[in-house]
Amino acid sequence: MSKKLFLFFLVSIIFLIGLYYLVSFTINNDRYSFIKKFVPDNLKKTVKYYIFPHKIIEKKNQELYELNLKYDRIYDFLIQSGAPYKEEIKIRRSLDDLLFNYKTSEYLNIFGEKYAIKKFQSNFQLNSGIYNVFPGSAYLDFYNDKFFIISSKGIIGFTEKINEKDIIFKQIDSNINNFINENQFKKKGYYSIKDIRVKNNKIFVSFTDEIKKDCWSTSLLVGELKFDKIDFKKIFASQGECAFEFDTSHEYNGLSSGGRVEVVDKNFVLLTHGDYGQRSLVQNKNSIFGKILKINLNNSDYSIFSMGHRNPQGLFYDEENNFFLETEHGPQGGDEINKIENFQSNLLNYGWPISSYGEHYGGPDGRNKHRYKDFPLHKSHKKYGFIEPLYSFQPSIAISQIIKVQDNKYLVSSLKYKSLYSFELDEFKTLKNLNKIFIGERIRDITYFNNQIYLFLEDSASIAILKRS
């Protein structure tokens, strides 16, 4: 750059700076307000955006702050009033059909193949969410060509037909209210239904159970599948063990409840039980926290199937290969995909909270650094006698359900990143070819039936159907 050109730019910058301050000085001063008339609007914007952006940033931050305050006030009002869950309970009591209207279509690439995705949105009938205040959350399953849904607040419906324009679920009456007090729902969104499985002419429903006042664990209901009314019975509940919501140690985490269900055969079912923030109990073999439980359907006895889990959010039985795939939330990073061999003689331990590829919130130097003394979160699992995950996500994706769609090809869903992740398992059961497929909404549940993939999207309370085109 020549000396003359450099001087020109320097003088221009000084001029613009001086002009900006002159404008700023006169903007609220009537004596000099006439000067503003001689400053072009485009020049004002240029100076503000490129030379003195701090005022723009301050203004936007203030607007964002005010919007957050407004949202917090609305959120608090809705929670305190219980408006979302009250409306959904009304729908449940009315036994009205659940209507999902066609919303939109698009195309995706999964495993190198083109899929059409159709979205059907709830007609304002699922109002109460798990993570968000609204709209609603739900879980999906298929059995004998029938499509089942259960909302987070206990609406159960089924359909045998999916139209081009809509999906209509007929409600099934039940005695679910005998086990889940409606007063529980207004405490927090995550006190809710956690899964549905329909198999062998039985329907299984898991939920967060208030064992005693403000003290929680995860329980399981089972009922004979009937389409007029289902009479549930409690097949599993903790024997008095629960996590106190107002624990003075501040360890409690109601989001970490687990609750996934998988049917092994006619005699046994698996239930994932999260740690509810009770880290000290996870490696205790006498506790149900942080475990996958194997429940005997004939006598309700249970045993620990695997341990060392934080918040198991997905569970899939690969019958062909005779193993289970489990997903779980890590803390700050470290969401896991784990392989659990069936019929192992030894109790399998996956390491939490001794080993994890995540960190306690805040990290080793943050607000929770004291936790590392008792729960060190070693980055190796194998070194400390635990099983290494098939894969660990860093950062966390808020992992949810996992399914198999083709030979050795699987899909896992994400809440936080609003995406599906495809992967394969090779002959050595090593995970490979992980790919992200953006969907655009939090995916609460995923299931597979008749060569089609079904998602429940909780940002809009929609069902998405992915079909190979």
Question: What are the C-alpha distances in Å from 444 to residues 119, 122, 129, 414?
Answer: 15, 15, 10, 8
Query: Which residue segment(s) compose the domain that 144 sits in?
Result: 100-468
More confidently predicted of 284 and 83: 284
Q: What's the pTM value of the predicted model, to 2 decimals? A: 0.84
431 and 339 within one domain: yes
CATH of the domain at 461: 2.120.10.30
In a domain, 230, yes or no: yes
- With residues binned 3-state (H G I as helix, E B as strand, rest as coil), the percentages for the chain, rounded to 5, are 20, 40, 40
Alpha helices in 82-135 (DSSP H): 83-94
Among 59-63, 112-116, 250-254, name the most confident range. 112-116
The vertex-203 CA angle with 201 and 208, nearest 5°, equals 165
> Do 396 and 449 belong to one domain?
yes
Average pLDDT over residues 247-276: 95
On the question of pLDDT at 28 being above 60, the answer is no
Residues 116 and 35 in one domain: no
- Beta bridge pairs of residue 242: none
pLDDT digits 0-9 by tens, 149-160: 999 999 999 999
Q: Give me the helices (H) in 121-161, please.
A: none
Q: What is the pLDDT of residues 403-438, one digit of tens each?
A: 999 999 999 999 999 999 999 999 888 999 999 999
Confidence of residue 294 (pLDDT cuts 50, 70, 90): very high
> Taking 60 as the threshold, does the pLDDT of residue 446 lie above it?
yes
Number of domains forming the structure of the chain: 2
Please give the residue that has the higher pLDDT: either 390 or 16: 390
Which residue, 386, 409, 244, is CA-closest to 309?
Answer: 386
Contacts with 248 (C-beta within 8 Å, 6 or more apart), sequence order: none
In a domain, 418, yes or no: yes
**pLDDT value, residue 248:** 83
Predicted confidence (pLDDT) per residue in 3-18, tens digit: 666 666 666 777 766 6
d(CA 132, CA 135): 7
Query: Are residues 67 and 144 both part of a single domain?
Result: no
65 and 195 belong to one structural domain: no
Q: What is the pLDDT of residues 163-181, one digit of tens each?
A: 999 999 999 999 999 998 7
Q: Which residue(s) pair with 455 in the sheet?
A: 446, 464
Examine the pLDDT at 25 and tell me if it is beyond 60: no
Is residue 272 scored above 80 in pLDDT? yes
**In this predicted structure, which of 55-64, 344-353, 419-428, 446-455 has the lowest mean pLDDT?**
55-64
CA distances from 298 to 188, 240, 258, 268 (A): 34, 22, 23, 8
pLDDT of residue 292: 98
Residue length of the chain: 469
Instruction: Examine the pLDDT at 100 and tell me if it is beyond 90.
Output: yes
> pLDDT class for 185, splitting at 50, 70, 90?
confident
The answer as to whether 79 is a domain residue is: no
The band of 63, judged by pLDDT with boundaries at 50, 70 and 90, is confident
> With pLDDT > 70 as the criterion, what percentage of the chain qualifies?
84
- Are 66 and 123 found together in one domain? no
Tokens representing 209 are 């159970």
pLDDT at residue 76, as a whole number = 57
Q: What is the pLDDT of residue 182?
A: 80
Q: Is 383 exposed, middle or buried (0-12, 13-18, 19+ CB in 10 A)?
A: exposed
Handedness of CA 295, 136, 453, 156 (dihedral sign): positive
Whether 272 is covered by a domain: the verdict is: yes
Are residues 133 and 188 both part of a single domain?
Answer: yes
Are 342 and 448 in a shared domain?
yes
Residue 218 lies in a domain: yes
The residue that leads in pLDDT, 385 or 133, is: 385
In angstroms, the CA 245 to CA 66 distance is: 31
Both 144 and 14 in one domain: the answer is no
E runs forming strands in 144-290? 146-151, 156-159, 166-171, 173-174, 193-199, 202-212, 215-224, 229-230, 233-236, 243-244, 258-263, 268-273
The pLDDT assigned to 187 comes to: 87
On average, the pLDDT of the chain sits at: 89
Tell me if 80 is assigned to some domain.
Answer: no
Looking at the structure, tell me whether residues 130 and 60 fall in a common domain: no
The answer to whether residues 343 and 304 belong to one domain is yes
- 181 and 34 co-located in one domain: no
- 314 or 4, higher pLDDT: 314
* Residue 349: per-residue pLDDT: 97
Tokens of 8: 């020109």
Nearest Cα neighbor of 272 from 333, 329, 210 is 329
Provide the pLDDT for residue 410: 98
Does 203 have pLDDT greater than 90? yes
On the question of pLDDT at 81 being above 60, the answer is yes
Residue 309 has pLDDT above 60, yes or no: yes
Q: Is 93 inside a domain boundary?
A: no
| Residue 92 in domain | no
Residue range 321-359, pLDDT digits in tens? 999 999 999 999 999 999 999 877 789 999 999 999 999
